[in-house]
Structure 1
Amino acid sequence: MARPLLFLDVDGPLIPFGAADYPHFPPLPGPADHPLLARLDPAHGARLAALPCDLVWATTWFTDANDVVAPRLGLPPLPVVDDPTGFEIDGLHWKTRPLLTFAAGRPFAWADDEISPTDRTWVSTHHPGTALLHRVDPHTGLTDADFTTLTAWFAALAPSS
């Protein structure tokens, strides 16, 4: 059976942008021209890689996430969900439909700061598999509580021994 997926946004979950006092981390390898890259917590890479799932970028960084973000987190290049429309349709986030297409029925979690009730309803109606739409607070980014939620959700998917 294929492993579940974790669709991962960058701005908000990995690069918090609401708190002026958010800690800045030491410079990491890679281009440093984006002013918010210092907010990437390098420990997140190992924590994400340890989850029992396949990581997939679901971000407006698109393939730049592999060039700029992944190396700073110690992650390999990841698949990228791209979007043919680039805009919301009837209140549905632009990522929602492409995520379901990419998932192709596989269980998935989606960590993003822009998940709405419309997205939740659409996924529950159109996705035959299990899904967790996990909203991350963009002021804090991923926290221990978020990792606890994701870890528990993926563990619940594992077949019992």
Structure 2
Amino acid sequence: MTDAPLLFLDVDGPLIPFGNPAGHRTYPGPWTPGPHENPLLPRVDPALGPLLRALPCELVWATTWGAEANASVAPWLGLPALPVVEWPDTADEPPGDGTHWKLRTLVAWAAGRSFVWVDDEVGPADRVWGRDRLAGAALLYRVDPGRGLRGDDVEAIGAWLARPCSARRPATPG
């Protein structure tokens, strides 16, 4: 295990945008989904793969897709199989304080390492909770689910990761 920061990556919303606004790249070639493939996979921009791989961090799937992200999305992006966060059985139960049900599991999974959480469901309560408890060691990065993750988002995440740990501050994009 390394001490490199973690990047927890959600699929639906960040990688598979719910909208398809003008200018969003989709897979350029003809593609017919197989019987077990998600028909929305062409919305994942394969150009994101090299950008994500170049970040100074360890990529981790933080999605309800689970291991299916390694079978479908990782190859599409040209990524190797990534670690996958396993969600507790109580994942559907909100914590009761307005934070997202993923947040505490991600904090536990990080086990004190700095991390970035990329998700379309990061909200104000998550940022307040993180600011108060994570001392700037986490970037909770909300992606607009209508446009999905783009190069400028990856650039902003990379800039945060490039800062010395002591200089990192929770950011409030999105």
Global fold match (TM > 0.5): yes
1:45 aligns with 2:80: no
Secondary structure at the counterpart of residue 153 of structure 1: helix
Superimposed CA distance per residue, residues 101-159 of structure 1 (whole angstroms, 9 cap, x where no aligned partner): 01111111111100011111222333356110111111111122201211100111379
1:144 aligns with 2:146: no
Provide the aligned length of Structure 1 versus Structure 2.
Answer: 159
Counterparts of 1:148 and 1:128, CA distance in 2: 22
CA-atom RMSD in angstroms: 2.3
- Structure 1 residues 121, 77: closer, same or farther in 2, change over 3 A? same
The TM-score with structure 2 as length reference comes to 0.82
User: 51, 63, 70: which is aligned to 1:66?
Assistant: 70
CA contact (8 A) 1:12 1:141 kept: yes
Secondary structure at the counterpart of residue 38 of structure 2: coil
Deviation of 1:19 (Å): 2.7
Superimposed CA distance per residue, residues 14-69 of structure 1 (whole angstroms, 9 cap, x where no aligned partner): 111123654431357x9563110011111111110000000000011011101111
Counterparts of 2:124 and 2:58, CA distance in 1: 25
Q: Which amino acid aligns with 2:8?
A: F
CA contact (8 A) 1:83 1:94 kept: no
- Structure 1 residues 20, 156: closer, same or farther in 2, change over 3 A? closer
User: 94, 114, 126: which is aligned to 2:121?
Assistant: 114
Deviation larger for 98-107 or 137-146: 137-146
Structure 1: state its 5+ residue gaps.
Answer: none
CA contact (8 A) 1:113 1:137 kept: yes
Deviation of 1:73 (Å): 0.7
Q: Which amino acid aligns with 2:76?
A: R
Q: Which residue of 2 aligns with 1:100?
A: 107
1:12-23 aligned within 5 A = 12-19=13-20, 22-23=24-25
Secondary structure at the counterpart of residue 101 of structure 1: helix
1:5 aligns with 2:12: no
CA contact (8 A) 2:117 2:139 kept: yes
1:77 aligns with 2:84: no
Secondary structure at the counterpart of residue 133 of structure 1: strand
Q: Which amino acid aligns with 2:37?
A: D
Q: Which residue of 2 aligns with 1:86?
A: 91
CA contact (8 A) 2:118 2:142 kept: yes
Identity across the alignment (%): 53
Deviation larger for 117-126 or 148-157: 117-126
The TM-score with structure 1 as length reference comes to 0.88
Q: Which residue of 1 aligns with 2:134?
A: 127
